């Protein structure tokens, strides 16, 4: 079985001088939430084997903050295609991953993540606020076999729900 943790970037800072949307940083609230979620994954013993982040500053910083706060010990890569991606793009990215990775975390954006979750959750829409995580299990042995028909939403966690 393979699993994916979708991790939406922390709240961004709309008041900063960022120029383009891609360069928008994480806000103080987003920093706090990213660290909280990183520790949460460690506490529930679900640290990913590998993490892939969007190249957007807010997503990449969210990933780095979570990895450090949770002491994940996981490698981090970045993928430009995650920024403004479709659900098919995410599937394509996952389908090329190494099979020794059982649990992969993708740090990215809406509306792609809620659409991805919806397709793995009997078409039920969910609200997916900033810094939220969702774990989806796939009944497959190789990443090249990935498809929505094999996915099942296991849990959804929002930073406000963690003590």
pLDDT above 80 (res 66): yes
Please classify residue 25 by burial: count the beta carbons closer than 10 Å to its beta carbon, then call 0-12 exposed, 13-18 middle and 19+ buried. Answer: middle
Distance CA 9, CA 102 (A): 22
Mean pLDDT of 101-124: 95
Residue 42 belongs to what H/E stretch? helix 28-43
Neighbours of 118 (CB within 10 A): 18
* Residue count (the chain): 163
Distance CA 38, CA 120 (A): 24
66 in Cβ contact with 34 (< 8 Å): yes
Mean pLDDT of the chain: 95
Task: Note the pLDDT of residue 21.
Answer: 74
**Position with higher pLDDT, 67 vs 24:** 67
- CATH code: domain 2-161 is 3.40.50.1240
**Position with higher pLDDT, 31 vs 18:** 31
pLDDT above 70 (res 65): yes
pLDDT in tens, 70-98: 999 999 999 999 999 999 999 999 999 99
Task: Note the pLDDT of residue 13.
Answer: 75
Q: Is the peptide bond before 111 cis (omega within 30 degrees of 0)?
A: yes
Mean pLDDT of 46-64: 98
Mean pLDDT of 59-79: 98
CB within 8 Å of 116: residues ≥ 6 apart: 6, 87, 90, 136
pLDDT above 70 (res 24): yes
pLDDT in tens, 4-20: 999 999 998 767 666 77
pTM above 0.75, yes or no: yes
pLDDT above 80 (res 49): yes
Beta strand 133-138 with 50-54: parallel, antiparallel or unpaired? Answer: unpaired
Task: Note the pLDDT of residue 17.
Answer: 67
* Domain boundaries along the sequence of the chain: 2-161
C-alpha of 104 from chain center: 9
Residue 79 belongs to what H/E stretch? strand 75-79
C-alpha of 67 from chain center: 12
Task: Note the pLDDT of residue 29.
Answer: 95
When pLDDT is cut at 50, 70 and 90, the band that residue 123 belongs to is confident
């Amino acid at each position: 079985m393979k699993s994916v943790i979708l991790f939406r970037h922390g709240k961004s800072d709309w008041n900063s001088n960022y120029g383009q949307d891609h360069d928008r940083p994480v806000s103080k609230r987003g920093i706090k939430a990213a660290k909280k979620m990183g520790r949460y994954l460690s506490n529930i013993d679900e640290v990913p084997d590998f993490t892939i982040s969007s190249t957007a500053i807010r997503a990449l910083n969210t990933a780095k903050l979570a990895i450090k706060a949770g002491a994940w010990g996981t490698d981090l890569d970045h993928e430009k295609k995650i920024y403004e991606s479709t659900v098919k793009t995410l599937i394509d990215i996952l389908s090329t991953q190494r099979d020794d990775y059982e649990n992969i975390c993708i740090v990215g954006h809406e509306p792609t993540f809620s659409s991805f979750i919806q397709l793995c959750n009997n078409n039920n829409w969910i609200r997916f606020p900033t810094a939220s995580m969702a774990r989806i299990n796939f009944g497959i042995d190789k990443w090249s076999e990935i498809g929505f028909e094999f996915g099942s939403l296991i849990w959804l966690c929002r930073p406000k729900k963690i003590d």
